[in-house]
Amino acid sequence: MIVRDFFFKPLKSITTLTALLFLLSHAYAQELKINDLEYFETQGVNVLVYNNLFTGGFNDEKNAGIELIHHGVRTAQGGAVRLSNTPEQWDLVPEIPTRKVDRASKSIESTLRYKDYDFDSRVIVTAKGNGLEIAVYLDKPIPKELEGSAGFNLEFLPSQYWNKAYLVDGRYNRFPRYVVGNSVARPNNEKPKQFKGYKTYDDRGTGKFVDPLPLERGRTFLLAPDEPSRLVKITSPDVDIMLFDGRVLAQNGWFVVRSILPTGKTGKVLTWTVEPNAIKGWVREPNIGFSQVGYIPKQQKVAVIELDKKDKPLATASLFKMGNDGSVSKVFSGNVVSWGDYYKYHYVKFDFTSVTTPGIYYIQYGNFKTNDFLIESSVYDKITDATSDIWIPIHMDHMSVNEAYRVWHGEPFKEGYLQAPPNTDHFDMHAQGPTTDTKYKALEPIPGLNVGGFFDAGDFDIETGANINVVQNFVQTWEHFKPLRDQTFVDQKQRYVDLHRPDGTPDVLQFIEHGTLNLVAQAEIVGHMTQTLSNAVLDNYHHLGDAASLTDGLPYNPNLGPYEIAKDGRSSGVKDDMWAFTSRNPRIDLYAATMFAAASRALKGYNDDLSARALVQSKRLLKEATDLLATKPEDNSPWGASANVSTNLQLYVATGEKQYRDKFQELIWPALDRNVNFTLLTALNAVPHMDASFKEKLRPYVVKYADYMKGLEKENPYGVPIVLTNWAGSGAILSFGTTICFASQYFPDVVAPGEAFKATNWLFGCHPYHNYSLVATVGATRPKAVFYGNNRADFSFIPGNVAPGILFRKPDHFENYDDWPFLWGQNEGTIAGNTNYLIFGSAFKNLVK
């Protein structure tokens, strides 16, 4: 409050303010020490030094390097020697082959290597006083081609700094809410040195490649002096420090503090002192985890409260009920029971299961109270409506999608798809092999693929594997639960979709048709399944906005000049056509065979022609893929082991032919022995189609899964499988919940139906970091507000989107930004993930009933 109050008083001089803030920051700061997890720590400040490394896939994911977790929020990252003022996602990143912790010298040292330029540097981070010294060492001078480009960067999260003040050598300024800054075009449209070099990058117009200019330059920076929880002081005795706004080049850019490395020098060539302010006595506020959707009266109701380890747990918590007249009364007090430590925090639980009276409630723990929620028998009835009514139809490819006065997108990719050239590396982790594996030549149009299918996620490609999973999810939803919900108008002839407009056909049936149309076209026209139908041009790939404006809708004509349109208006010289990556993968063919068999059943009586075509392709792909795999080394992954199992089950259910049943019976038991957690759901799906002996033979595996579930109660305070990789774990929890729903249906004496509430609790707010629902618009007063969708530049969401969720950052930090959508590993809903939510939500609602 001292800093805040001071800011509203008349200022005699900026110098006086700077000096006072400097003294205050030192008064609050505490010495940083290397802890047992090998990062620098004091209460309120964690500084990670290459605990998380840059990846070789998407390169700069804004999740690596030197990172600052400032009063519980990761506010800075990317600290490293970089080759750009404002690095983008596909820019070159350094390898970090060595990392050494020296407790005696209170330092962490790492080597950073750019092998493309044979350029190595060493970064040594040392605890000094109330902050850290960051020093860069060179054993050889910077390579000639990197002079003026190589520099040390540290990036700060815009959403935590915009509208806050900063000072540079006493000059006052403010971080802009929206990108503001100047840039210069590179001479002769020169590509930056850090650029990864995709040959298909669009170079339309003069000055496509630009350099942002610094917002400020100086030797002493004070960031956010008006906000003590974000105050950071950065100084350098030997080099100028610059501040850039990375959003000039990309909406996901951060504020970048940077110094250029001097040329022709070796040894210690750069020194920064970084002093993050630590508020004296700061303790993180409790995170009271509960279901934002609410609870049915009879279910178990347990809030999980996440506490700072320096926060002394209280003995009790209370439940308050809101009266119909607006009054509030305490209706229950109960003991708070300690669960224990889990990574960075301590966890306690508050059980209020005994409260069953319908009404509006909130939880109070000490001085902290939650937003309100419901206890009522119908709270789960609509949990999938936004996903099926809005998110899924918006992601229908090759269709115009309208909602009331809003057009979500026009009809995309009218020009169709070209054959990807051999030996092409794609920027989304795909590659075309040495041949096309088709009858089509490089860049030859492949007719008939521009039909059906679903956008993968926040981009506009059709990921074949994901779309296979999607159709399978729709079929399971249809066959198990027959949802007759009809809120979407779909016309394949007009290629038109209108939301909130019934057309007399169940929506899920139309979704099955739409996905199958594209996948059958791939099998029939290409001869097998593609890897992906995706962008040839990087500019198009990261396009935000209407998918129909991503390309010009006209086939590319190599006889025309760049951006020229033919006189008949039917082709253009724009190289923006999408590509089909067609290298054959028999595993994908097997999954497609599984899906085609299932889709053929669901479509029978609705679209008999498509049903018959799907069954033909299922049988063909099963035979061809099996023959191809017989010539390859055994695939021991769970995915590889389960593909044949599922395909034979689905073909048996579709045809009733004994050969498929026998093959399924032969394969399922070894698959369960290898990985019961992964395969059990497939086995459970078979129960209605097999005899009683199959079910009894399956029982020990269900018991084994139940033991796994009990183990999760001891593993973490939420009792669910928590994923600790660079993609958060909503998908694993959806699979977990779906397995429980079906296991409890067939084996209620082994798996209690109530176990499934663990999954909904997590999804709807009972999880680490915050208590927001992870499903857009589904929850009480606080579902997540921003997601990584194709409208992410607007800091918005598409209703029904399911976030990947709570992302783990090594070695002990969980996070989910709700003010910054651009980290896909925690905020990007995918078509496969959201249809997994549809099948889980349907199974869960059926269980509740």
CA distance 100 to 121: 14
The answer for residues whose C-beta is within 8 angstroms of residue 31's C-beta and 6 or more apart is 42, 127, 129, 130
Cis peptide before 811 (omega within 30 of 0): yes
Report, in this order, helix, strand and coil percent for the chain, each rounded to 5.
30, 25, 45
Q: Locate 516 and state its tokens.
A: 């199958």
Q: Which amino acid is at 462?
A: I
Rounded CA-CA distance 793/251 in Å is 6
Tokens 């007090």 -> residue: 333
DSSP secondary structure code for residue 145 in this structure: G
Helices of type H across 503-556: 507-521, 538-541
Write out the two tokens for 605: 């009586």
Cα–Cα distance, 624 to 660 (Å, whole number): 15
Element (H, E) at 844: helix 831-848
What is the distance between the alpha carbons of residues 402 and 495, in angstroms, rounded to a whole number? Answer: 11
Q: Pairing relation of β-strands 400-403 and 496-499?
A: parallel
- Mark out the alpha helices in 687-778 (DSSP H runs): 692-715, 730-746, 757-763
Using CA atoms, how far apart are residues 24 and 228, in angstroms rounded to an integer? 9
H or E element that contains 658: helix 658-674
Residues annotated as catalytic are 819, 828
Helices (H) and strands (E) in the chain, counts: 18, 41
**Which residues lie below 8 Å from residue 487, measured CB to CB, with a gap of 6+?**
385, 388, 389, 499, 500, 501, 502, 507
- Please tell me the distance from the alpha carbon of residue 39 to that of residue 809, in angstroms, as a whole number: 13
Cβ(359)–Cβ(372) below 8 Å = no
- Beta-sheet pairing, 813-815 with 267-276: unpaired
